[in-house]
Amino acid sequence: MKIKLFTGMLIFSLFLSNFGIISYADSYTATKIFYQPKMHNQNHNKFLNQHKKTQVEKLIHSYQNNFVSAINSGDFSLVSSDILPGSKICTVQKSTVKSYSERGIKERLISYKINSMSEFDNGDFRVVVNEKFYIQKGNQPLEYKEFENIYRVAKTNKGYKMSQILSVKILDSKTIKS
């Protein structure tokens, strides 16, 4: 708990409530000192952490769907709002969209699941995502692929953005008989 000393000032009243201590001084200056039990701070931090995680989950959802749309249309701009400009993932995915479009590769997202999420000290997140796709490569048989991708999500002044693919692991791959 903080204690403030007022030199040469007469304190007229002191009010203690659940929200804090408010000291009023004769110079018409009010000083509010918040004292919140640890439980309040912990609940507030849990709320903030959950809010951040919800924002990252929304970004992952948007990215998953928009990236497939970008692949299928050959238009990187469909996913660009989810990606940090100038980042490693921006360069890689822009090239992937162009390459897949030129080779006639189409994707269909079956499902994705966020397996884990952890926050770095700077506010960025490490997100492990399990992704399942059907992939059609031109006239070749349809393929099923399951990946475990680890992404870095950057905290920016415009919200969270995809900034890096830290790893890609193929968990399953098979040809679907037609």
DSSP structure string for 89-151: HHHHHHHHHHHHHHHTEEEEEEEEEEEEEEE-TTS-EEEEEEEEEEEEETTSPPEEEEEEEEE
- List, in sequence order, every beta strand (DSSP E) within 26-104: 30-33
Read off the pLDDT band of 43 (50, 70, 90): low
38-175 placed in CATH 3.40.50.2300 = no
Domain positions in the chain: 1-35, 38-175
Q: Nearest to residue 175, comparing CAs of 120, 134, 147, 125?
A: 134
- Say yes or no to pLDDT of 10 above 50: no
pTM score of the predicted model: 0.74
Mean pLDDT (whole number) for 158-163 = 96
- Residue 128's alpha-carbon distances to 30, 99, 137, 138, 159, in angstroms, are 49, 25, 26, 30, 19
Read off the pLDDT band of 74 (50, 70, 90): very high
Share of the chain above pLDDT 70, in %: 73
Q: What is the average pLDDT score of the chain?
A: 82
